[in-house]
Structure formats: structure tokens, C-alpha cells
Structure 1
């Protein structure tokens, strides 16, 4: 007969799901008369407080607690609203009994620091909660409202639309928890939000080396963009597209790729225009293919941003430039040099371009991220290999004939 207080298959499935997604899941834990009989319930939708109510009805469960958990590597990081002494000790033995020995339960506090459960008091947290006067709830709610208002003002004061978009949902989630009467959950959420805001404020007070480099590269990009605007439209178009990619790299934090791209762009601005060089315009062929790919990528970017997940948002900000990385920079440099070269120099540039075309073609064929873009879980049509592959074949033909 299965143990309803610890459904091993369900627990293992959700622990693996949390590990794969990085998401926090609500849980409830029940202290058993014997460690091997302790209870653990995890759910995707039910709040931890509701799970605890279910767990308290189970035979053999003495005390309970609830909160959220997440899994990093093989550590199950348990963050209960009110830590219960014995949770780690009993879960270790229960995991061993159920064949889940590779997962290690770890007790953490609101700030993410590890808690030594042996230092916890032996008193019954549930009894204390029941005995608390109702008037205390009103005082707690008022204090939480003040904290929410202060956090909302701090988020607004950051003056950064991207950060506001990521942090504003946390404020709304805190308001929702408060409205549901889940004071413990609201407080835990606010504590994490306040810690993140404090860190951001500290970073803005003293710019890091990355921030300084980003500011320097952004200034250089603005200068180059101004020079591009002064060019005739047909000459400016491919350079402007490259500048847009570099801006996306800066936004996503890929400073190395952005710096390399700026060097290539600066070199292109110094060389003669493509129209003055003999032969077909390989840059125009590549740019047309990229614009075709970008149409599908832009739809996928919107889908990623709609998930309100910081990692997916960074991927969305990077776009195709973030997927192709250094391959794009190296190919663009070779295209610029081929377009601007003449005579014997054009033959040398053609050979260098052929090498980059081959490298990029291999990247398109082998890279798993490209496959993930084309076979994305949203069902969005975002072809990459076909349009870029066709362009590479045309460019290779021109280079071989040079």
C-alpha cells in the first residue's frame, strides 16, 4: 500500500523538474515517529500551507512545516516559513529508504544561507502559531503593507525598464500573497526581493568593471552609429544592421562579443565602400538572409519574454547575435574585407572568406542551440539553417570565382 504522506514517485519527479527548470516549488514536511516514516508533499500549484493541511491528516505525522524548495545540482534546498528541527535528519533517511540517495536535503533561511538544524529550538512551531493572538495578524499585515510599498518605490526609483519588468511581478506576487492571508509566504517573498534590491542599489552606487566597460563600449557604438547615419542608405544598411546586433550583445551582457564586433565595425568604416570594389556584394547577400532569419527570431523573442523568466529574457535580448556568438563576428569581418578589397588583395580576402564560410557552415550544422531555435517548444517557425546556408553557398561561389 502506498504511503500518501510520501509518494516517492511524485516526489522524485517534482525534484527532478525543479532541478531542470530552476523553479521553486511549494512543499510541506511532516515529522514522523521514525525518520523512515516522515512525510513530504510537493506540488506545482497547491500552496505549501494547503499541502501542510493535507499532511497533518496523515497517520504517524507529529509536527509539520511548509515553504518552498528548489534544487541546485543534487542539493534539495528547503526554505520553510518556520524551520522544523529534524527535517534534514529525517529526510536523509527517507531519501535513502526510497532509493533517492543522490539527493541531499539542505535547510536554508530567507536570505539563502544554510541553517544548522541542530541549533533550532525543540519547541512546537505549530503550537506557537495557533496560540498567537488574532490581533498580531493585523499588525503583521500592516507591516507587510509598508514593506511592499517601500519595495515598489525602490523598484520605480531604479529607473531601469528592464529591471522594473523583472522585479515588478515580485511586488505583485507579494500583494497577492498578502491578500490571501499568507503572511509567512509574503514575508519570505519580500525578504528575497529586498535582498535583490539592496544588491542592485549597491552595484549602482559603485559601478563594476563590467559596467564601466559596457558604458565605454556603448559610447563607442554611439559614435560609430553617427558615422553610419552619414553614409548613403545603400552603404549604411549592412553596417546599421551590425550595429543593432552589437547593441543587443551589450544589452545581454556579452561584452567580449560586442567589443570584437565594434573592432570589425570600425575597420569597415575605414575601408572603401563596397560599391567601389569589383565583384558582387557578398555583404548584401548575407544581410538579406539574416533579415529573413530575424523575422522568425523576433517572434520567438516575444514568446520568450512572455514567460517572465530572467534567463529567457536575456536569451531574447541577445537574439540571433547571442546564438551565433563569435562565429558571426568572424564572418562579418571576412565579408567586409572581401567587399572592400580589389586586385590581388581580393583573392587573399576571398580565401579568408571561404575559411569563415566553412566554419560557419559547420557551426550551423552541429550547434544544438540552432536546433533548439528551429524546433522550439512554442511551435514558432524560425528557420535558421536553410536561409543562412543558402547565403553561405552563394557567397562561397563568389569567393571561389574571385
Structure 2
């Protein structure tokens, strides 16, 4: 026979409804001699005071209270008018007994601040708690505090404000659970946070040589930018655009693509105006950019395979080629045709290449999967748009001059 003081199906349904809608719902709670016999009534229409009247009639209920509750994530925030001491302890055990362990009851005051029910005055003799309250485990709390502090330090040491912004709420949530006395919940949350930090810390950091190369390329680019400023506007405009594309490659860490672009830019600046056609090979520029992107994609593939999930493993096996297959094939065909063409045929091949470049640029801008690759949930840095866009623009300049 179902327990009318705690109809588990109805309670679960309404907790989920509050979580989905964000709305507060009226409730009544009944304190019992045993936590597994406590009562909780929730309703969409009945006021909490009416529910409390129904709860008082239930057998085994010693004391009652009523108010409103709301569910955020899996935390059930209970805001009774006059809280009964033991409401949180008994509901935790009742939720566990009913298979609703993912829901965590939290007591809040009239202003919405969290209340530690142990700070409430002791109930009179009318209230009965079957088991003595557990003794505080100061050692466990201190250990959890140390783990929270260590995690906060590790997040700060990452030196990445974006990642810190994503991980900071996990630290706050852990501290909140500790403050509520939920040591198991706090430990579980910290386990997940520490695992995520371990993955981030295991990622390779840029080698000093790369930083030195980036600095040299930046200095060389600044020198070319100064040369461009001395040219007539009609001659400077296309070269300035190429310099901006090279700067984007440097910012994204695509050093080979930036080096190839600089080589082409210097040749263009050194060539007399009458013969200013760029001499760089667009296929080399593209291959250098693709190599940069493939390195990031390879790291993301490793992260996907590490999840031991068949669907993620299938995505990892496809790699970026699985997303760009049509565009990549058409672009490579146009590059090969331009590379082998001469005379008037080269001009026609250049126009075909420009069409494929325009299609690829539109794909990079619009395709949602590219955004998901760059902003992936594994914290893996995968620059795609900046290096490929930079290379495509450099290639377009060469094709226009053909």
C-alpha cells in the first residue's frame, strides 16, 4: 500500500516539473520517528497550509511545517515558514530509500540564504528523532577544505581566464556542499573537478622554441608593415590585407602558415611594381595551415578516444576530414589544376580556385561543427578558423594576381 505521506511517484514528478520550469511549488513536510517514515507532500494548486493539514492526519507524523520549494539542477531548496529541525536529515534518508538519491534537500531562510539546520533550536519533547545525530567529522571536513583550496590554486595556475571561468562554479559548488555537511557530495564533485584538471595539466605546453619563433616572426611582420606604409595606397591596400592575415595566423599559433605568408609578402615587397605578381605556391601555404590545424585536431581525437565511447571513437576516427570532406577535395583539385596550368589556362584555373576559396571561407564561417571543435568541452586548444582563413586569403591574393 503506498505511503500517503510520501507518494514517491508524485513527489518525483513534481520535483522534475519544478526543475524544468524553475517555478516554486507549495509543500508540507512531516517529521517522523524514523527518517524513512517522514512525509513530503507537494501540489500544483493546494496551498502549503492546506497540505500541512493533510500531513497532520498521517499516522506516525510527529511535527509538521509548510512553505514553498524550488529545484535548481538537483538541489531541492525548501523554504518553510517555520522550519522543523530534522527536515534535511530525514529527507536525505527518505530520498535515498525511495531511489531519489540524486536530489539534495537544502534548507533556506526567508531571504533565500542557506540555513544549517543544526543551528535551529532543539525541538521539544514532541519531536522524536530515532537515531542520534552523527558526530561531526572534523578530519574529513579539513581534508575536503584542503582539496578545495588545492583545486582553486590549480585553476589559477592554468593561466587561462576562459577555463577558470568554467571551472570556478565547480569550486563554489564543492564549498557549498561542504558547508551543508554533505561530505560525500563534496568529495564526488571534487573527484570530477580534479580529473578535469589532471587532463588539462597533462596537455603539452608550447615549447620555448615556438615562443621564440613567434617573437621573431612578429618582429619581421612589423618591419614589413612599416615598408607597406611607404607605398602608394593602391599598391599598399592588398599587401596590408595579407599582413593582417599573417597576424591572424600568429595569434592562432599557426606558425608555419605565418612563415609561408611572410615569405610571400617579402617577395611581393621586393618585386618591382611592374612585376609584382606573388611567387609563393598557394598549395604550400595551404599545406602549412592544414598541418597546424591537424596538430590540434589530433589532440582532440586523443581526448575523444579516452572517453571509451563507441560514438566518440567513430567521430575521432573521422577527424576534421569527416567534416570538411567535400570542401577539402574540391579545393585540392583546384590547387593541383592551377599548379600545373600555364598561360591562359592558368588564369582560368585561378578563377576556379577563387571560387573554391570563397566556398571554403563560407563553410568556415557558417558550419556549426567547426565552432564545436574549437569550443570543445575537453579544454583542448584546436584553432581552425583563424589559420585556415589566413591561408585562404593569402591564396586568394596569389590567384587574383595570376
Q: TM-score w.r.t. structure 1 length?
A: 0.40
Q: TM-score, normalised by structure 2?
A: 0.40
Higher Cα Rg, which structure: 2
